[in-house]
């Protein structure tokens, strides 16, 4: 008898819930009974968020001015000639009410493909993190901005660094016929991590010595260690403007933060009045049909002015409600009799 | 010279032609002794050593060979090409992104295969190094098994396994026999008797054996285990004596010596040339229908991929026609790039786009599908409901490639004996010259003591008494049963316990055991075979001895067997038993009509009948017989054919004695299973070698045919009356006429509950079948018989093919398989005769029956009992199908969503192949972020409860014909993927458009953009799967939420550290910066909702408006809170059947469903009560009454 039972016991499968595919399970079903109230709730929440976003966004102010100088009547028309060097032009504008602060000052470029692959990879991350070996021999991805014609290494190398935006702006408020400079704050316009961790200058003092035997990017007026003569901590690879430029934009029309207006009389915003923006016009965009703009804007808890987000929430929210109504009609018409 | 030439030829052929093509026999010198000079010179051949290598690789060739094997698969090759392209040209993503997954897949596979091969090596080594005993110079020495050579004489002791194929020279038993089990070869655990060569059987010590001087000529090795022809030349006094060798002399490697102290044998086939090794050839791979649709989807996606790359390349050059766009001042090219020819540039760009979009065909899909199949098959093996406690066997999965095919079966081809029936034979009665005898052992549940018998004919005359005893003796002598004098035989209990000597009858055929046992109950006991004498204990308790002279063994073509015996009186008898059709034509006298009537009646009742006849041989006739047999047996070529001819000549002029009837009871729940299969829309064909009447009765009992079934006959009997042509046309007209009257609705398959009406059954026999299938003759218009036949079959829900030869079974399967609808076929059987059809069908199922393990070994799945087929198909098959179809669709969907945004991004980055996502995301998306939820889903999802699936077989129909992987479904999934991709990309686009996301005014870059899209992507595809999951166990929760959590943790980690080994740090703090901004959160939530809402709404609306059956069942199950399976009429949930609920046919169906148990009881009981009046039970079982054959209600179609 024992003999007979043995093989059975050996070969018998484990009788557990898992092996028998009988694990306890929650078996939800996408039925109208659950989905209609769910859609209703989601719809209401979304509409609520949408309204909040829309209202917030509507209250934000944006002032966008094109200074490319394509048009003859544009103040920068004369500067748009590519042969002009060190051209300056002035853009006058008027604010008829207080531009609430903090005000953010952006420059914007259009039709500019910072997201091209060959452009984006044309840099040397080791060099930019202060590796002196890569000062002498930049990475091959930097070509054709790797060595100059005399075979000196370019630091920082690559198209991305080379094409850094070099228009500069000065903003004046016209108070009783005199120009009062609006202080622009250039600190913290780049990511904290870029400034403090990702990009590093070589630990050579003075910084200039590290750049011995190298040349500045061809397009740059000044070498990297002299980017900001006013602040020694804002030079080399950790120059804020440089960092802003190096973070590639996702799309061909983009804005980059230039300055913040937070100091002095302007900490609450730009009061109403006349302003004058002095532009040193250096950056060529016309040959690729680009535009240059300056943008003044303020932000809220949900970022800059963007009506799309609010509208999208409203649309999806209402869609949910509409669908739940449709479902309810269908449900009432086709389902109830059957379930009796 | 000639000898040299031929040696050369041997060598050439060996190396060029492939070995034994022209040397069709081999010569072996026993003990390596040269034959005496003057005899015919043999070509000495070279034989391999006795090494068995089942391993595929060696240490040295593993890497190249395994790589070659793996890259032969199209998918792997594709990924290799992509990887190489990435290495060679400058592409947007690093080679790591495709190299790493490929490397992973290849390594895992290589490790698995390497491990398996290592196990095989180990097993090989242990076999190859096991010690064997060899007679060398008159002494027994030990040798390693692998060193055995052809011609060695080996010494094998009891319970040892033969190390190679041997010809037995002598044994410890005086009669030169030995017993062997071939359990490990073909699973037959019965002891088989093998015979030593007559001239050498007396040499039973090593010195004597060493003195044997002989050569063996035999055929080159061939895989058939049961065939062997050879000849031994024994040189006694330099005078060669030739003796035939047959499979009864051949001991096969792998078999074990039993009940014999030792044997001496000579090695003839070694190593890889043994029959066992030749039988290890792998079967051809079967591919499932799902895999085929997967491949066609793959082709579509490949075209989409190429299309995308072409479109982008083209647009790139159109867009770049403006030189300032082509090369703006800020992004100048190098000189080398400028000088490159435009065609080369365009081609490189095309390849780069291909690389960028190649993730649309994921390497991980193949891995996931294989894992799903492999792991999923464990649920089959673990299933406790498919465990049979009597046999102690559980389901066996030989290939996991076909799991989902189990859910697609349209045709079931089943064997009868041992599959539908128990193959547990019971002797019911015998009929001797018209009088019927019934053993009276069991009556009304009580066992009657002593061996009694009842005769129905009350006045047996004195003549009939002689005939009676002759009949009994014939049955006691004409068989191949062995007597085993032990309690158990290798775990399997055989036969009935014998009172006195506690011995068993063992035979490969259960019928024979039943007959011999039946004879015992009637007073004649077969005792044993001793010294070629069979001993019988007759009614007077006297032992009668018959010398067994010849056995003309059974084969399925002749369908009979004979023995020639010499009685103690010196009289010579030939006893022959066999199927009536093969006996009656050979009978010259005897009460033929009476016996035939009885045989037919028994057959109608579902009993297996055999006829017994005899012939007295004069000694002159006997010597002719001996000469005939001898000549045939000595032949080296066509021996089987010659033997058959000889048998044919010998088995003539028989005198009919009578007939026997043996019952083979239906397997438990066989009828229920068949009924379920029918309801599930499968057509069940029974293919059997039995006679038509027996088979038809079984079909009725097993509900294959119902009372209402209209039987169409296509048998020899009918084709004798009419020409085959006419019969076929008549039948097809009948079928088509009926089809015309049926409405479309009922025929659509979805609403008809067929099996209850419009039900045809076809009976065809082997002879007619081969006539139908005969290749068309030129003259007549018989060419389209096959088509007509198929047309008829298509309209029959059940077909019975009787009198089938094994190969014909495979032929039928192939015929259906290759017919124009290409239905999925399943073949199920238990015996060696079913192997051909098991191999032929899409899915082959073996039953662990009594006829050995051959069917099991050759099957794809093996189950202990026929009834387990129900769960295997209706539950497991159904689950695996829905699981894998979701798996496949989901995989393509999630890769469309993944890659399409990247495609759209090209329009905004100047077609510069800028990837949208970071390398790590590209690499890990398919490997880790989205792989586990779908794998878990594809292993544990249960859209409908198991019990409901079992309860309502009609649900099986809704997944038939690969319905979940049709093109519309595929297009819906792809469209959904494209929609979601568009929402994600343009959603993010408009949100990013010229605005800041942060409250400190800082801007985000392109990697944040990509990460935002990617986060939405990962959440959306995971939620989509979560919404599709209907069976949430803790595993589902774990993998779904775990994957999302893993994504977040990984992204935090990936962006949180400056990774020293990377030459770029583009993802540094990107993810954290994104999460620290409110609008990013809001955007993610918004986009996920926008992606999923339409699909959810569609699902809910469709569920309400056009619910699928699955959805109806789910809802009903919810209403009844999981107790749906307790409520009976599930059919009310099926569309279009509500009004039919009270219709007579449904009621009838229900009645028959509940009534079948009762009926079975009646079926088994009436026999014992009713034998005195056969007519009394006809009203109970109208379908068995002789007057109204099969049709019962007179609906039988006779055109």
Q: What are the pLDDT digits (tens) for B81-109?
A: 888 998 888 878 888 878 887 888 888 88
- pLDDT of B59 strictly over 90: no
Strands B214-219 and B229-236, how do they pair? Answer: antiparallel
pLDDT of residue B42: 59
Predicted confidence (pLDDT) per residue in B926-976, tens digit: 888 999 999 999 999 999 889 999 988 999 998 888 888 999 999 999 999
Angle in degrees, 0-180, between the axes of helices B878-905 and B342-357, rounded to the nearest 10: 140
Q: Across residues B25-45, what is the average pLDDT?
A: 72
Put simply, the answer to whether B1001 touches A304 (Cβ < 8 Å) is: yes
A271 to chain B, closest Cα gap in Å: 20
Asked, as a colleague might, if the bond just before A144 is cis with ω within 30 of 0, I would say: yes
Answer yes or no: are the C-beta atoms of B166 and B228 closer than 8 Å: no
Put simply, the answer to whether B1010 touches A25 (Cβ < 8 Å) is: no
Is A93 within a domain? yes
Q: Which residues of A touch B1114 (CB under 8 A)?
A: 27, 29
A297 to chain B, closest Cα gap in Å: 9
Q: Across residues B436-442, what is the average pLDDT?
A: 65
- pLDDT of B750 strictly over 60: no
Least confident of B40-54, B247-261, B1140-1154: B1140-1154
Answer yes or no: are the C-beta atoms of B889 and B970 closer than 8 Å: yes
Answer yes or no: are the C-beta atoms of B1016 and B1088 closer than 8 Å: yes
Q: Across residues B745-761, what is the average pLDDT?
A: 49
The share of chain B scoring above pLDDT 70, in percent, equals 82
d(CA A322, CA A311): 16
* Candidates B336, B868, B1005, B1075, partner chain A, best to mutate (most A CBs within 10 A): B1005
Q: Does A336 touch chain B (CB under 8 A)?
A: no
Nearest to B631 by CA among B231, B920, B904, B1109: B231
- Using pLDDT thresholds of 50, 70 and 90, give the confidence band for residue A256: very high
Is A314 within a domain? yes
HEC string of A60-125 equals CCEEEEECCCCCCCCCCCHHHCCCCCCEEEEEEEEECCCEECCEEEEEEEECCCCCCHHHHCCCCH
Angle at B1039 between CA B1036 and CA B1041, to 5 degrees: 95
Q: Which residues of A touch B1001 (CB under 8 A)?
A: 102, 104, 189, 257, 260, 299, 304
Nearest to B31 by CA among B230, B171, B216: B216
- ipTM for the complex? 0.95
For B968, other C-beta atoms within 10 Å of its C-beta total: 7
**Domain match, A305 and A234 both:** no
Q: Does B990 touch chain A (CB under 8 A)?
A: yes
DSSP B243: E
- Using pLDDT thresholds of 50, 70 and 90, give the confidence band for residue B491: very low
Put simply, the answer to whether A253 touches B1073 (Cβ < 8 Å) is: no
Q: Which residues of B touch A331 (CB under 8 A)?
A: 1104
Q: Which residues of B touch A289 (CB under 8 A)?
A: 324
Q: Does A175 touch chain B (CB under 8 A)?
A: no
Map tokens 């993802």 to a residue. B1067
Is A8 within a domain? no
Angle at B1181 between CA B681 and CA B686, to 5 degrees: 35
B1189 vs B473, higher pLDDT:
B473
Put simply, the answer to whether A117 touches B914 (Cβ < 8 Å) is: yes
- pLDDT of B28 strictly over 80: yes
Answer yes or no: are the C-beta atoms of B505 and B517 closer than 8 Å: yes
Q: Which residues contact B825 (CB under 8 A, 6 or more apart)?
A: B409, B410, B411, B412, B413, B813, B816, B817, B841, B842, B843
- Using pLDDT thresholds of 50, 70 and 90, give the confidence band for residue A338: very low
Is A325 within a domain? yes
Give the CA distances from residue B145 to residues B123, B164, B275, in Å, rounded to whole numbers and listed in that order: 13, 9, 16
Quote the tokens at residue B523.
């007073």
DSSP states along A205-263: SSHHHHTTT-B--TT-SS-GGGS-TT-GGG-GGG-HHHHHHHS--SSSSEEEEEEEE-S
Q: Which residues of B touch A189 (CB under 8 A)?
A: 1001-1002
**Domain match, A55 and A103 both:** no
pLDDT of residue B1042: 96
Most confident of A318-327, B15-24, B98-107: A318-327
**Domain match, A186 and A275 both:** yes
pLDDT of residue A259: 93
Predicted confidence (pLDDT) per residue in B355-399, tens digit: 999 888 877 788 888 889 889 989 999 999 999 888 888 898 888
**Domain match, A224 and A185 both:** yes
**Domain match, A316 and A283 both:** no
Catalytic: which of B415, B664, B759, B765?
B415
Map tokens 């009918």 to a residue. B718
pLDDT of residue B1048: 96
pLDDT of residue A51: 95
Angle in degrees, 0-180, between the axes of helices B1034-1056 and B931-940, rounded to the nearest 10: 170
Is A19 within a domain? no
Put simply, the answer to whether A253 touches B1006 (Cβ < 8 Å) is: no
- pLDDT of A7 strictly over 70: no
Select the residue of B946, B1006, B1030 nearest A29 (Cβ to Cβ): B1030
Put simply, the answer to whether B1104 touches A334 (Cβ < 8 Å) is: yes
**Domain match, A171 and A141 both:** yes
**Domain match, A144 and A285 both:** yes
Put simply, the answer to whether A35 touches B1100 (Cβ < 8 Å) is: yes
Quote the tokens at residue B798.
């059940």
Q: Which residues contact B64 (CB under 8 A, 6 or more apart)?
A: none
Rg of the Cα atoms in chain B: 37
Is A6 within a domain? no
d(CA B413, CA B842): 11
Quote the tokens at residue B542.
């006297």
> What's the pTM value of the predicted model, to 2 decimals?
0.79
B555 vs B1172, higher pLDDT:
B555
Residue of B nearest to A218 (CA): B330
Answer yes or no: are the C-beta atoms of B712 and B792 closer than 8 Å: yes
Answer yes or no: are the C-beta atoms of A67 and A292 closer than 8 Å: yes
Residue of B nearest to A28 (CA): B1030
Give the CA distances from residue B398 to residues B282, B373, B941, in Å, rounded to whole numbers and listed in that order: 12, 12, 23
Map tokens 């002749």 to a residue. B558
Q: Does A259 touch chain B (CB under 8 A)?
A: no
Least confident of B10-19, B117-126, B542-551, B1034-1043: B10-19
Q: Across residues A122-136, what is the average pLDDT?
A: 90
pLDDT of residue B717: 72
The share of chain A scoring above pLDDT 90, in percent, equals 53
Answer yes or no: are the C-beta atoms of B830 and B847 closer than 8 Å: yes
Is A3 within a domain? no
Domain count, chain A: 2
pLDDT of residue B1131: 45
Window A:298-317, CB contacts with B under 8 Å: 299-306, 308-309, 312-313, 316
**Domain match, A154 and A52 both:** no
Determine whether B224 is an active site residue.
Answer: no
Q: Which residues contact B506 (CB under 8 A, 6 or more apart)?
A: B190, B191, B481, B482, B483, B484, B489, B494, B495, B513
Answer yes or no: are the C-beta atoms of B689 and B637 closer than 8 Å: no
Tell me the pLDDT of chain A averaged across its residues.
88
Q: Does A264 touch chain B (CB under 8 A)?
A: no
Range of the domain at A45: 36-60+300-334
Answer yes or no: are the C-beta atoms of A214 and A154 closer than 8 Å: yes
Q: Does B393 touch chain A (CB under 8 A)?
A: yes
pLDDT of residue B499: 40
**Domain match, A103 and A213 both:** yes
- pLDDT of B702 strictly over 90: no
Most confident of B179-193, B442-456, B615-629: B615-629
Is A25 within a domain? no
Burial B744-758 (b: 16+ CB within 10 A, else e): eeeeeeeebbbbbeb
- pLDDT of B294 strictly over 80: yes
Q: Does B1034 touch chain A (CB under 8 A)?
A: yes
d(CA B1059, CA B182): 64
Q: Which residues contact B483 (CB under 8 A, 6 or more apart)?
A: B503, B504, B505, B506, B526, B527, B528, B529
DSSP B776: P
DSSP states along B952-978: -GGGGGGGTTTGGGSHHHHHHHHHHHH
Residue of B nearest to A22 (CA): B946
Q: Across residues B109-113, what is the average pLDDT?
A: 83
B926 to chain A, closest Cα gap in Å: 24
pLDDT of residue B325: 83
- pLDDT of B221 strictly over 90: no
- pLDDT of B1036 strictly over 70: yes
Least confident of B275-279, B521-525, B593-597, B806-810: B275-279
pLDDT of residue A310: 92
pLDDT of residue B751: 37
d(CA B514, CA A334): 64
Nearest to B331 by CA among A169, A99, A47, A145: A145
d(CA B362, CA B923): 10
Nearest to B131 by CA among B58, B205, B50, B208: B50
Select the residue of B1006, B1032, B1077 nearest A248 (Cβ to Cβ): B1006
pLDDT of residue B27: 84
Q: Which residues of A touch B334 (CB under 8 A)?
A: 143-144
d(CA B921, CA B927): 10
Angle in degrees, 0-180, between the axes of helices B1078-1105 and A307-330, rounded to the nearest 10: 20
Put simply, the answer to whether B1005 touches A289 (Cβ < 8 Å) is: no
A143 to chain B, closest Cα gap in Å: 6
Q: Which residues of B touch A144 (CB under 8 A)?
A: 332-335
Give the CA distances from residue A194 to residues A191, A201, B585, in Å, rounded to whole numbers and listed in that order: 5, 12, 101
**Domain match, A220 and A113 both:** yes
- pLDDT of B870 strictly over 90: yes
d(CA B267, CA B155): 11
**Domain match, A124 and A260 both:** yes
**Domain match, A96 and A201 both:** yes
- pLDDT of B12 strictly over 70: no
> How many residues can be counted in chain B?
1199
pLDDT of residue B38: 60
């Amino acid at each position: 008898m024992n003999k007979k039972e043995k093989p059975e016991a050996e070969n018998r499968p484990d009788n557990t819930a898992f092996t028998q595919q009988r694990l306890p399970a929650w078996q939800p079903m996408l039925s109208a009974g659950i989905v209609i109230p769910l859609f209703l709730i989601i719809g209401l929440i979304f509409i609520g968020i949408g309204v909040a976003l829309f209202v917030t966004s509507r209250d934000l102010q944006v002032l966008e001015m094109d200074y490319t100088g394509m048009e003859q009547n544009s103040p920068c028309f004369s500067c748009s000639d590519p042969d002009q060097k060190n051209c300056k032009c002035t853009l006058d504008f008027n604010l008829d009410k207080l531009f609430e602060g903090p005000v953010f000052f952006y420059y914007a470029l259009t039709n500019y493909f910072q997201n091209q692959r060959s452009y984006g990879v044309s840099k040397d991350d080791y060099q930019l993190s202060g590796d002196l070996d890569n000062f002498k021999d930049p990475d091959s991805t930097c070509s054709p901005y790797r060595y100059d014609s005399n075979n000196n290494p370019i630091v920082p190398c690559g198209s991305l660094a080379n094409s850094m935006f070099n228009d500069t702006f000065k903003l004046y408020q016209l108070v009783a016929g005199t120009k009062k400079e609006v202080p622009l704050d250039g600190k913290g316009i780049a990511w904290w991590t870029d400034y403090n961790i990702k990009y590093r200058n070589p630990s050579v003092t003075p910084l200039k010595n590290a750049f011995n035997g190298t040349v500045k990017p061809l397009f740059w007026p000044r070498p990297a260690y002299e980017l900001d003569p006013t602040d020694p901590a804002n030079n080399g690879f950790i120059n804020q403007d440089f960092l802003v430029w190096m973070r590639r934009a996702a799309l061909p029309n983009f804005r980059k933060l230039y300055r913040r207006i937070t100091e002095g009389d302007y900490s609450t915003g730009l009061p109403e009045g006349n302003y004058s923006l002095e532009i040193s016009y250096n950056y060529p965009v016309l040959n690729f049909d680009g535009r240059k703009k300056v943008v003044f804007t303020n932000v809220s808890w949900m970022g800059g002015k963007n009506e799309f987000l609010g509208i999208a929430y409203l649309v999806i929210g209402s869609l949910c409600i509409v669908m739940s109504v449709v479902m309810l009609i269908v449900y009432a018409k086709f389902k109830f009799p059957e379930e009796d | 010279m000639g000898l040299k030439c031929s040696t050369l030829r041997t060598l050439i052929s060996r190396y060029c032609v492939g070995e034994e093509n022209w040397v069709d026999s081999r010569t072996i010198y026993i003990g390596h002794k040269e034959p005496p000079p003057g005899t015919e010179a043999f070509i000495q051949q070279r034989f391999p050593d006795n090494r068995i290598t089942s391993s595929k690789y060696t240490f040295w060739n593993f890497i190249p060979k395994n790589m070659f094997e793996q890259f032969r698969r199209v998918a792997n090759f594709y990924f290799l090409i992509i990887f190489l392209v990435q290495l060679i040209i400058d592409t947007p993503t690093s080679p790591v992104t495709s190299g790493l997954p490929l490397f992973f897949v290849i390594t895992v596979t290589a490790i698995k295969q390497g491990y398996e091969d290592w196990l095989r090596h180990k097993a090989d080594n242990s076999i190859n190094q096991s010690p064997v005993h060899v007679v060398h110079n008159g002494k027994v020495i030990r040798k390693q098994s692998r060193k055995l050579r052809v011609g060695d004489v080996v010494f094998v002791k009891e319970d040892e396994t033969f190390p190679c194929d041997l010809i037995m020279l002598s044994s410890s038993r005086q009669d030169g026999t030995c017993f062997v089990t071939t359990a490990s070869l073909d699973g037959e655990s019965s002891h088989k008797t093998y015979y030593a060569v007559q001239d050498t059987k007396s040499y039973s010590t090593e010195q004597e054996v060493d003195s044997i001087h002989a050569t063996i000529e035999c055929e080159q090795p061939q895989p058939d285990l049961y065939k062997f022809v050879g000849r031994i030349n024994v040189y006694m006094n330099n005078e060669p004596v030739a003796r035939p060798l047959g499979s009864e002399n051949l001991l096969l490697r792998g078999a074990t010596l039993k009940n014999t102290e030792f044997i001496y044998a000579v090695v003839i086939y070694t190593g890889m040339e043994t029959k066992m090794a030749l039988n290890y050839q792998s079967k051809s791979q079967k591919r499932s229908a799902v895999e085929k649709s997967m491949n066609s989807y793959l082709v579509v996606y490949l075209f989409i991929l190429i299309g995308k790359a072409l479109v982008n390349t083209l647009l790139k050059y159109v867009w770049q026609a403006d030189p300032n766009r082509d090369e703006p001042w800020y992004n100048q090219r190098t000189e080398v790039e400028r000088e490159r020819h435009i065609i080369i540039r365009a081609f490189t760009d095309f390849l780069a786009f291909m690389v960028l979009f190649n993730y649309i065909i994921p390497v991980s899909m193949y891995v996931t599908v294989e894992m799903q199949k492999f792991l999923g098959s464990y649920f089959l093996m673990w299933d406790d409901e498919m465990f049979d406690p009597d046999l102690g066997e559980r389901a066996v999965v030989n290939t996991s490639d076909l799991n989902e095919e189990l859910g697609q079966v349209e045709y079931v081809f089943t064997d009868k004996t041992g599959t539908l029936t128990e193959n547990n034979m019971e002797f019911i009665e015998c009929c001797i010259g018209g009088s019927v005898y019934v053993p009276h052992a069991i009556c009304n549940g009580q066992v009657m003591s002593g061996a009694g018998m009842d005769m129905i004919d009350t006045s047996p005359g004195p003549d009939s008494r002689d005939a009676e005893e002759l009949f009994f003796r014939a049955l006691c002598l004409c068989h191949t049963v062995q007597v085993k004098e032990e309690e158990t035989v290798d775990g399997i209990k055989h036969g009935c316990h014998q009172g006195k000597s506690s011995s068993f009858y063992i035979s490969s055929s259960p019928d024979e055991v039943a007959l011999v046992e039946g004879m015992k109950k009637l007073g004649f006991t077969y005792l044993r075979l001793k010294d070629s004498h069979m001993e019988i204990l007759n009614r007077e308790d006297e032992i009668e001895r018959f010398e067994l002279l010849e056995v003309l063994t059974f084969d399925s073509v002749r369908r009979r067997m004979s023995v020639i015996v010499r009685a103690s009186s010196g009289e010579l008898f030939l006893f022959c038993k066999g199927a009536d059709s093969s006996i009656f034509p050979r009978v010259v006298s005897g009460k033929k009509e009476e016996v035939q009537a009885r045989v037919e009646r028994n057959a109608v009742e579902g009993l297996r009948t055999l006829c017994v006849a005899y012939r007295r041989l004069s000694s002159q006739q006997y010597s002719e017989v001996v000469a005939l047999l001898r000549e045939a047996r000595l032949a080296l070529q066509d021996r089987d054919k010659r033997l058959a001819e000889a048998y044919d000549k010998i088995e003539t002029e028989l005198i009919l004695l009578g007939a026997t009837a043996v019952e083979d009871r239906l397997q438990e729940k066989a009828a229920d299973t068949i009924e379920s299969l029918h309801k599930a829309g499968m057509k069940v064909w029974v293919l059997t070698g039995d006679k038509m009447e027996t088979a038809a009765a079984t079909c009725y009992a097993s509900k294959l045919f119902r009372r209402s079934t209209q039987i169409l006959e296509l048998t020899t009997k009918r084709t004798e009356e009419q020409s085959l042509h006419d019969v076929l046309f008549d039948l097809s007209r009948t079928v088509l006429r009926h089809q015309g009257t049926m409405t479309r609705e009922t025929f659509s398959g979805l609403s008809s509950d067929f099996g209850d009406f419009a039900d045809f059954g076809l009976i065809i026999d082997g002879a007619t079948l081969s006539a139908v299938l005969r290749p068309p003759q030129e003259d007549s218009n018989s060419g389209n018989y096959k088509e007509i036949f198929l047309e008829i079959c298509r309209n029959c829900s059940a077909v019975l093919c009787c009198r089938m030869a094994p190969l014909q079974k495979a032929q039928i399967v192939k015929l259906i398989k290759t017919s124009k609808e290409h239905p999925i076929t399943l073949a199920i059987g238990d015996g060696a005769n079913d192997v051909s059809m098991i191999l032929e069908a899409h899915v082959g199922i073996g039953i662990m029956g009594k006829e050995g393990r051959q069917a099991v070994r050759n099957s794809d799945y093996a189950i202990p009992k026929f009834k387990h087929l129900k769960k295997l198909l209706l539950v497991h098959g159904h689950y695996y199908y829905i699981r894998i179809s979701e798996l496949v669709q989901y995989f393509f969907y999630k890769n469309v969503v993944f890659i399409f945004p990247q495609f759209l991004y090209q329009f905004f980055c100047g077609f510069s192949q800028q990837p949208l996502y970071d390398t790590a995301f590209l690499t890990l998306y398919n490997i880790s972020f989205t792989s586990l939820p779908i794998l878990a889903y594809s292993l544990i999802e249960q859209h409908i409860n198991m019990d409901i699936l079992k309860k309502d077989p009609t649900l099986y129909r809704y997944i038939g014909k690969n319905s979940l992987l049709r093109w519309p479904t595929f297009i819906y999934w792809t469209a959904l993927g494209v929609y979601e991709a568009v929402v994600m990309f343009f959603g993010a686009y408009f949100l990013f458009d010229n605005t800041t996301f942060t409250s400190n005014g800082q801007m985000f870059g392109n990697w944040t953009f990509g990460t935002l899209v990617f986060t939405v992507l990962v959440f959306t595809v995971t939620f989509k799967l979560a919404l599709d999951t209907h069976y949430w166990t803790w595993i589902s929760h774990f993998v779904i939420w775990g994957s999302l959590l893993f994504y977040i943790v990984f992204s935090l980690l990936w962006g949180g550290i400056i990774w020293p080994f990377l030459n770029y740090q583009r993802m540094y703090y990107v993810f954290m910066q994104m999460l620290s901004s409110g609008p990013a959160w809001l955007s993610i939530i918004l986009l996920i909702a926008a992606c999923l809402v339409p699909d959810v709404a569609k699902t809910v609306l469709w569920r309400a408006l056009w619910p699928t059956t699955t959805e109806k069942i789910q809802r009903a199950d919810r209403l009844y809170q999981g107790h749906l399976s307790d409520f009976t009429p599930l059919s009310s949930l099926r569309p279009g059947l509500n009004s039919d609920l009270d219709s007579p046919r449904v009621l009838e169906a229900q009645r028959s469903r509940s009534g079948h148990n009762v009926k079975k009881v009646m079926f088994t009981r009436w026999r014992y009560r009713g034998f005195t009046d056969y007519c009394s039970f006809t009203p109970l079982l109208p379908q068995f009454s002789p007057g109204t054959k099969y049709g019962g209600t007179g609906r039988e179609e006779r055109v």
